[in-house]
Amino acid sequence: MIIIGDIHGKISEYQKIIEKHSSSLQLGDFGFKSQYEWYINNIDMNRHKIIMGNHDDTNYLKYTNGNFSYDVSNEIFSIRGAMSIDKSKRISGIDWFENEELNYLESMEVMDEYEKIKPKIVVSHDCPAFVAEEFFGFPQNDINYKSKTRTFLNVLYDIHKPELWIFGHNHKHIDSIINGTRFICLAELETFVL
């Protein structure tokens, strides 16, 4: 299994990566309508999966890992979503989607499953707020950086600390241990083999 960072519509690069691997999980910001149409028509979605980020067309949510999923064989719990700080520059329904973050009921469903499973590995588009502060200097209480997703991921981490947490969204490579959990941020098109 290979984990792939943000794609941002770079389909040919994505295709070159997955051609070398039997299975993959892409961390979100895959693309919008045309990229998802290509994905649906050309990719085995059972082997090469996507977690939605904030720069994804959520009309295609059913073709991805949904709001969350658990891959028993690889012990991976995946969670979608993030907040777009650039949404004022985007067009609603075209390149920005109102449900880019989980709502309250979706979050509660994720939390219930996460608490039952207590996964070894978490894979998400964004990271917990405390990690964003540690890695990128984004203050947890600063309105410009605070998001429902980061706050929610903090809650999940308080419930259960996985061994490994891999995420994208920030387009920077970082690999560090915080409080006993290894956190890996993948840059755009960067890969990590599990």
* pLDDT tens per residue, range 122-175: 999 999 999 999 999 887 777 766 799 999 999 999 999 999 999 999 999 999
**How does pLDDT run across 63-84, given as a tens digit for each residue?**
999 999 999 999 999 999 999 9
Structure pTM? 0.96
Look at residue 144 in the predicted model and tell me its pLDDT. Answer: 67
CB burial of 14-42 (b: ≥16 within 10 Å; e: otherwise) equals: beebbeeeebbbbbbbbbbeebbebbeee
Domains of the chain: 2-193 (3.60.21.10)
The 3-state DSSP class for residue 128 equals coil
**How does pLDDT run across 174-189, given as a tens digit for each residue?**
999 999 999 999 999 9
